[in-house]
Amino acid sequence: MHSLCRASKLVLGSQTAAVYDRFVIRQSFGAARGSGQLSLVPRPSTCRHSGDRTRHSGSVISAAMQDATAAAAAQGPLPKAAVGQMTSVGDQEANFNTCARLAQDAAAAGCSMLFLPECFSFIGSNQQESIAAAQPLSGALVARYCELARSHKLWLSLGGFQETGPDPEHIFNTHLVIDQGGEVRAAYRKIHLFDVDVPSGPVLMESRSTAPGTQALVCDSPVGRLGLSTCYDLRFPELYQKLTWSMGAQVLLVPAAFTRPTGEAHWEVLLRARAIECQTYVIAAAQAGRHNEKRESYGHALIIDPWGRVVARLADPSATGIAVAEIDLNQIAAIRTKMPIREHREKGHKAYLEGV
């Protein structure tokens, strides 16, 4: 199990570990509550990736998950999550100022964590601009957002930025989690790339300038164990089944920049489906409105509970702002007790996955 922090070495897998030299494996912090306050209690290992051979076998009821569920049952206020919505442009400074305002709003609302959308730091007019904007995880851009988290004592989910890639023609689309101390806890590289001729919309070929990631990733946080994904990943339910039933995710993250045509047709129904079938919270930060003459995003940032109910959304689906909801992990346990999908799923697999 790996987790990440700013120090001397970042571990993202054996193929890429040597590229980074300012990060180390570190210990994690589980969420706990007492005396009416949300606190952070040291415990081993915050992040897991799909290649982790030390992960528990069979059951998702790990010690970390038991700790988080026990914390949810303790007396005191529930942790609050803020889902962000914004209209990124081709100006990193302007985008940072927008994110800073959203962070200030989230902190003022008493939130433990702010979730920002894909492309929070930059949306250009073409792929070459995105490549030119790329920076390493050890660069000035990430350092600035780490300072933003530290200054507000706020965890951040940064839903996808242009990370320097494996060659001059490709970047990674990387979703970061930063803790309240300003340390990077997880770096998920988007696996499924958006190569689509959108009906009544643009032709977008993400793979021409972006290399795919190779690992599913979870990370513990004050609002529960997070299952990381990005945008187009949403259309591949097996990823979320893996994050939930094999890796113990309690809150699935789907930061996105959905196009208007695909958003109108599929955005909310897919998000609610992921929440219902996995019996988890889903937090979906969103890009909204027109970024430039070529690109427009759907908006409609949402927080969805484990029963598939929308519990937070902005009044204006295209405005810049946040929507806030409490995250109650007891709901997950209650719903899974009454409708034990995990156990039924394991029984079903014997019938239709035998020998596959």
Residues marked active site are found at 118, 190, 231
Residue by residue, DSSP assigns 313-345 as E-SSTTSSEEEEEE--HHHHHHHHHHS-HHHHH
Q: Looking at this protein, which amino acid is placed at residue 327? A: I
Whole-number Å distance between alpha carbons of 197 and 203 = 4
Q: Which two tokens stand for residue 260?
A: 């208007």
Are residues 180 and 149 in contact, defined by beta-carbon separation less than 8 angstroms?
yes
Are residues 79 and 37 in contact, defined by beta-carbon separation less than 8 angstroms?
no
Whole-number Å distance between alpha carbons of 234 and 238 = 10
- Counting Cα atoms < 13 Å in the Cβ hemisphere of 299 gives 19
Q: Looking at this protein, which amino acid is placed at residue 292? A: N
Are residues 252 and 283 in contact, defined by beta-carbon separation less than 8 angstroms?
yes
Residue written as tokens 């409105």? 289
| Helix 140-152 vs helix 92-108: crossing angle, to nearest 10 | 20
Are residues 100 and 150 in contact, defined by beta-carbon separation less than 8 angstroms?
no
Q: 3-state DSSP call for residue 28?
A: strand
Could you count the other beta carbons within 10 Å of the beta carbon of residue 193? 21
Q: Which two tokens stand for residue 300?
A: 């409609």
